C-alpha cells in the first residue's frame, strides 16, 4: 500500500512525524507510478522513452508530473513527444524530472534554493517558500511516495529544461 503525503503549510510541521512512521513497499519507482492513477501519462511517456529499466534499477527521486500537469502542455505537444522520431527529446524532458539518490521533502525544505543535477545533466532549482515546495516552476503537490528504489514527488506542471 502506497502512502501519499500532500504538502501544505501545516504539513511542513507534520512532515518529520510522517517520515518517522516509514512505509513498507514492495514496488519499484515505475511499478508504484503505474499503480497510481495520477501518473498514467507519466508512465506511458517513460515507457515510450525507454526509461523503465533505468528507473527500476537505480535509486532515484522522481518529480513526476501528474496527468493534469501534462494536460497543461500546449495542444499536440505531448502527442508529438510520444512519436518514435522524438524519443530523444522525450528522454531529455523526462530525465529532467529525475535526480539521483533519495531526496525526501523534509530535506528539500531544509535545503531551499539548492540546485541538484538532474539525470539529463541540467541543474534544477528546488525551493521551499510560502509553505510549499517547488521543483523548477512546478509546485510539489504530493511528497514522499516511497518505493523500493527511491521516492516520487507529484508535481503540478511539466518542468522544461533550458
Are the CB atoms for 12 and 131 separated by under 8 Å? yes
- 90 or 128, greater pLDDT: 90
**Does 33 reside within a domain?**
yes
Residue-range definition of the domain harbouring residue 85: 9-155
> How much is the pLDDT for 26?
67
The model's pTM: 0.83
Asked if the structure places residue 160 within a domain, the reply is: no
pLDDT in tens, 21-39: 334 456 999 999 999 999 9
The per-residue pLDDT for range 106-160, each reduced to its tens digit, is: 888 887 788 999 999 999 999 987 778 999 989 999 999 999 999 999 999 999 9
Where is pLDDT greater, at 1 or 127? 127
What's the structural domain count of the chain? 1
CATH number at residue 35: 2.30.180.10
Strand-by-strand arrangement of the 132-135 sheet: 98-100, 60-65, 150-155, 138-147, 132-135, 126-129
Amino acid at each position: 500500500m502506497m502512502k501519499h503525503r500532500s504538502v501544505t503549510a501545516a504539513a511542513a510541521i507534520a512532515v518529520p512525524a510522517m517520515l518517522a512512521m516509514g512505509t513498507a513497499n514492495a514496488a519499484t519507482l515505475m511499478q508504484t507510478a503505474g499503480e497510481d492513477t495520477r501518473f498514467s501519462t507519466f508512465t506511458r511517456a517513460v515507457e515510450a522513452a525507454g526509461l523503465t529499466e533505468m528507473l527500476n534499477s537505480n535509486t532515484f527521486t522522481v518529480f513526476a508530473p501528474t496527468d493534469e500537469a501534462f494536460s497543461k502542455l500546449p495542444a499536440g505537444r505531448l502527442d508529438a513527444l510520444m512519436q518514435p522520431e522524438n524519443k530523444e527529446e522525450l528522454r531529455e524532458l523526462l530525465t529532467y524530472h529525475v535526480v539521483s539518490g533519495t531526496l525526501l521533502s523534509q530535506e528539500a525544505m531544509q535545503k531551499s534554493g539548492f540546485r541538484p543535477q538532474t539525470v539529463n545533466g541540467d541543474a534544477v532549482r528546488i525551493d521551499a517558500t510560502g509553505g510549499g515546495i517547488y521543483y523548477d516552476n512546478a509546485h510539489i503537490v504530493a511528497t514522499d511516495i516511497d518505493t523500493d528504489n527511491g521516492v516520487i514527488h507529484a508535481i503540478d506542471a511539466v518542468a522544461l529544461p533550458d
